[in-house]
Amino acid sequence: MSVKKSRPARAQKVLAALRTRYPAPHTHLDAETAWQLLVATVLAAQCTDARVNTVTPELFRRWPGPADLMGVPVEELEAVIRSTGFYHSKAKNLLGAAARVCEVYDGRIPNSLEELITLPGVARKTANVVLFGAFGINEGLAVDTHVKRISYRLGLTESTDPVVIERDLMALFPRAEWGDVNHRMVWFGREVCEARKPLCDQCEMADFCPRLEPPKTPRPARRKALA
C-alpha cells in the first residue's frame, strides 16, 4: 500500500500515540486573555515562544488590553518587543490591531476567522491559534514549523505549503481534535521529532513512520565580488 493510500490509518495511529504521550496539551505561550494570546502569537512569528514569554510580562503589565495600547508611541512599544525580532512591523501591527478591536469590535476580540483576519498582523495561522486557545473553536489547524515538519515526515501530506498541509490534516483528523493536534505536534517536535536530529529510538511511531524528508530549497547562487 502506498504512503498516500495508507494516510487515514496512519493518522489514527498518530492521533492515538500523541494522545498517550500528551494527554493534556496546551500552548507554550503565556497569556490570560484572548487579546494577550493574540499579541503573544503575533510576537511569536519568526521568534521562539520562550523568548516571547520573557517579553510579554512587561508588555502586559504596561498595556494589559487593547484600549491600553491605543495612542502609545510606536517607538515605546518597539523598545519593549525589540528582542522578538521584526519589531518595527510587529509594533505597527499590534497598534493597528488594538485600534481596530476598540473601534470596530468594541474592545472585544472577535471569535470568527473572517473577522480575526481583518486585524493587522493576523493571518489564518494566528487566527486558528486564537480561536482554539481563547474560545475553544476548531475552525482550522495552525501549521507552524513543527506541524509542517512532522506531517511531512509521517507521510500525512506530500506538500510543504502550509495551506495545503492544513487542508490535508483537516481531512485526516476529527474536527474536535484539530487544536489539540497542533499543540501535541508542537510538543512532539520540540521533545522528540527535532529538525536536525530526530530521536527515532524514543518515538512510539517509529514502526510505522516512513521518515520522509521534504525537498531542500536550493540556496541562491552567491554573487562574485566586483573587481
What pLDDT is recorded for position 70? 93
What pLDDT is recorded for position 116? 98
Is residue 68 part of the annotated active site? The answer reads no
Catalytic residue among 30, 49, 68, 144: 144
CB 15 within 8 A of CB 173: yes
pLDDT at 17 over 70: yes
Cell 510538543: give the residue.
187
Is residue 144 part of the annotated active site? The answer reads yes
Q: What is the pLDDT of residues 97-110, one digit of tens each?
A: 999 999 999 999 99
Mean pLDDT to the nearest integer, 145-170: 96
pLDDT at 171 over 60: yes
CA 115 – CA 105 distance, rounded (Å)? 9
Average pLDDT, the chain: 93
Give φ, ψ of 148 to 5 degrees: -60, -50
Q: What is the pLDDT of residues 36-80, one digit of tens each?
A: 999 999 999 999 999 999 999 999 999 999 999 999 999 999 999
CA 103 – CA 32 distance, rounded (Å)? 22
What pLDDT is recorded for position 214? 81
Cell 472585544: give the residue.
108
CB 192 within 8 A of CB 202: yes
Q: What is the pLDDT of residues 85-137, one digit of tens each?
A: 999 999 999 999 999 999 999 999 999 999 999 999 999 999 999 999 999 99
pLDDT at 219 over 80: no
Mean pLDDT to the nearest integer, 205-225: 75
What pLDDT is recorded for position 149? 96
Catalytic residue among 125, 148, 168, 180: 125
CB 73 within 8 A of CB 2: no
